[in-house]
């Protein structure tokens, strides 16, 4: 077998894993696999290459080796949940000249792909009820074929009711999986995180990375992951990010009311934003457009709420609000491995608290930049900085508010003099009634779900996890793990 030595071939490098002459399109040409996972060759007098991140897997077809690749392409942006996106399938086929050479190529390619630590078995939740109810179609047509090409084994579970995913991950054996994937909006992600945190082995469980594929109304988390690296928010880009196996940490906020707790990874809203988010659910068939349509209605009939917020500002934001003191509820507890995660062990009473009193149009806390695929709510939010971004609006003329709505897509709304935008380490919400109708209260929304319903609010007769009263929010830095494009 005529193996090329690195020093004898201009395409090779000292770090080449293998270099040999092969047939490419019927022409004998040198081919090299570098230590960086790049395949290099010459075709029609032009040097070509396939990078490590483009390679999904390979398969032997008779005497030939087919390397399955996904090539990055640039073009128009595709909205969340749509087809197409930033990648196109384009395989590379070569034929080693000898059986021994083919076996060696396969061994080197297999060893290198295994060394990348990519996921090989995933638990996939598909939510057929979210958004425009397209998750099943998106999974079958766009997601599963890519996982198949990457030789990733899948265990697929369609969610059948609310909290189904949470119930499953809370009790099942997770040791056989390399990650969990949510083909949905943000709701199933929130269920999965809460389920993991309620496990006795939550510390180990939270190391399991979670991946998002956009198939719902909001898609704020996956938009926040893909947008900073210039990728469109679509199923293909999201799936490729999972296949490549890169990970990043994510802050988790613990929302407490007495002994009741909810773990949030996206946002908490009260006032205008919460009213739009929850009351617009009657227009779910419209997809993400429901927020714009109902938002206009809510601005025309603008509400304000009495109440008070307290917060511990991040460094550099100490000028916001007025000095205040805060006494922690005695019922709040800290970590207990027998009961699952109980929130960060933080001495809140020793912190420097500030307060802002109402009335308020809106109070909005964000953990990541994007609240939905077209809403850059908190442009300075970071995934694991240990802080929540707080956006407060006390009052705003309706025309100015309509103008601000148009700026949500690029995040410039936070520059408005009608909004206060800061970072906080801890937060307390004391919600009150509407100023125009004292017998009507509001809705507290966390991660797209109702956390509390006040008197005579939308669907106030339905049960909620918490009562419409004081809530305490603390942040645990980098507690959860996500699949990430980089």
Residue range 133-169, pLDDT digits in tens: 899 999 999 999 999 999 999 999 999 999 999 999 9
Low-confidence ranges of the chain (pLDDT < 50): 1-14, 76-83, 333-338
Give the pLDDT of residue 43. Answer: 85
Interatomic CA distance for residues 315 and 139, integer angstroms: 43
Tokens coding 275: 């009213």
Give the pLDDT of residue 90. Answer: 87
The DSSP secondary structure of 199-243, one letter per residue, reads STTHHHHTTS-EEEEE-SS-BHHHHHHHGGGT--SSHHHHHHHHH
Task: Give the CA dihedral 432, 475, 346, 343, nearest 10 degrees.
Answer: 90
- Find, among 457, 436, 438, 468, the residue nearest to 302 by Cα: 436
Name beta bridge partners: 208: none
- Find, among 324, 290, 122, 317, the residue nearest to 216 by Cα: 290
pLDDT digits (tens, 9 = 90+) for 380-410: 999 999 999 999 999 999 999 999 989 999 9
On whether the CB atoms of residues 212 and 187 are closer than 8 A, the answer is: no
Pinpoint the alpha helices (H) of 78-173: 99-115, 135-138, 144-149, 164-171
Give the pLDDT of residue 283. Answer: 80
Give the pLDDT of residue 4. Answer: 38
Give the pLDDT of residue 328. Answer: 80
Cite the active site residues: 186
On whether the CB atoms of residues 276 and 393 are closer than 8 A, the answer is: no
Residue 187 φ/ψ region, left for φ over 0, alpha for ψ in the -120 to 50 degree band, beta for the rest: alpha
Could you tell me the end-to-end alpha-carbon distance of the chain, in angstroms, rounded to an integer? 39
């Amino acid at each position: 077998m005529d193996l090329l030595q690195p020093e004898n071939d201009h395409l090779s490098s000292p770090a080449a894993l293998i270099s040999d002459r092969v047939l490419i399109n019927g022409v004998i040409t040198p081919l090299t696999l570098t230590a960086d996972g790049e395949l290099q060759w010459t075709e029609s007098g032009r040097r070509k290459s396939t990078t490590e991140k483009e390679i999904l897997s390979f398969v032997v077809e008779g005497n030939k080796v087919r390397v399955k690749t996904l090539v990055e392409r640039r073009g128009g942006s595709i909205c969340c949940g749509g087809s197409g996106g930033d990648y196109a399938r384009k395989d590379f086929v070569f034929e080693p000249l000898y059986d021994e050479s083919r076996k060696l190529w396969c061994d080197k390619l297999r060893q290198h792909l295994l060394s990348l630590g990519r996921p090989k078995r995933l638990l996939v939740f598909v939510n057929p009820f979210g958004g425009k109810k397209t998750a099943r179609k998106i999974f079958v047509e766009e997601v599963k074929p890519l996982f198949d090409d990457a030789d990733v084994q899948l265990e697929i579970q369609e969610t059948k009711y609310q909290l189904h995913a949470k119930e499953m991950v809370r009790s099942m054996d997770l040791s056989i999986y390399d990650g969990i994937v949510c083909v949905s909006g943000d709701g199933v992600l929130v269920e999965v995180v809460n389920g993991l945190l309620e496990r006795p082995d939550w510390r180990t469980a939270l190391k399991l990375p979670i991946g998002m594929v956009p198939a719902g109304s909001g898609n704020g988390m996956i938009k926040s992951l893909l947008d900073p690296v210039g990728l469109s928010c679509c199923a293909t880009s999201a799936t490729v990010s999972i296949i490549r196996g890169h990970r990043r940490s994510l802050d988790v906020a613990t929302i407490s009311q007495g002994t009741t707790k909810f773990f949030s990874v996206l946002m908490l809203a009260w006032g205008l934003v919460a009213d739009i988010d929850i009351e617009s659910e009657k227009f779910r068939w419209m997809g993400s457009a429901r927020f714009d349509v109902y938002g206009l209605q809510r601005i025309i009939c603008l509400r304000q709420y009495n109440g008070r917020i307290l917060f511990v500002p991040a460094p550099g934001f100490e000028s916001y609000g007025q000095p205040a003191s805060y006494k922690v509820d005695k019922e709040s507890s800290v970590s207990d491995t027998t009961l699952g995660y109980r929130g960060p062990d933080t001495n809140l009473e020793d912190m420097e608290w500030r307060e802002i009193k109402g009335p308020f149009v809106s109070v909005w806390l964000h953990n990541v930049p994007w609240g939905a695929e077209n809403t850059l709510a908190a442009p300075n939010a970071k995934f694991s900085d240990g802080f929540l971004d707080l956006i407060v609006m006390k009052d705003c003329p309706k025309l100015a508010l309509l103008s601000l709505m148009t700026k949500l897509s690029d995040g410039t709304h936070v520059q408005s003099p009608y909004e206060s935008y800061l970072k906080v380490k801890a937060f307390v919400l004391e919600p009150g009634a509407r100023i125009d109708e004292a017998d009507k209260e509001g809705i507290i929304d966390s991660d797209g779900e109702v956390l509390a319903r006040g008197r005579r609010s939308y669907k106030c007769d339905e049960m909620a996890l918490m009562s419409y009263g004081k809530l305490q929010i603390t942040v645990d830095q980098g507690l959860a793990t996500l699949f990430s494009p980089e």
